[in-house]
Amino acid sequence: MSFKALLFVQDKCEPCHRTLNALSQAFDKSEFIHVTQYKDPNGNRTAEAETYKVSVTPTVVVVRPSGSELGRFKGSSQMPPAFFSKLARFLNNANDEQEREDIT
């Protein structure tokens, strides 16, 4: 398992789509981004949204290899363009370190 960013979205959420596009452009390794629905087809929060106590979209939750939360950013206004490149560098570096530890 590796560090990852869970992006909680809703279908008709323009800020969610902008956030996903920005994340996709910032990351060269898209396996670190996991797009997660905030609500199920019945309008209830999904199990992952409940687990991480997500209350708005878009929300990015950065998760450690253990599954515990490292940090979060809620709403597109908290995610300026520099945020995406910093998050990409962090996850790429953290996961490179994790791979080296797994090998030794």
pLDDT digits (tens, 9 = 90+) for 43-79: 999 999 999 999 999 999 989 888 898 888 887 766 6
Residues 6 or more apart whose CB falls under 8 angstroms from that of 18 comprise: 76
Q: What is the pLDDT of residue 30?
A: 66
Q: Domain segments of the chain: what residues?
A: 4-103
Calculate mean pLDDT across residues 72-89: 75
What are residue 5's DSSP bridge partners?
33, 62
The 10s digit of each residue's pLDDT in 59-69 is 999 898 888 98
CATH of domain 4-103: 3.40.30.10
Res. 102: pLDDT tops 70: no
Tokens of 101: 């530890």
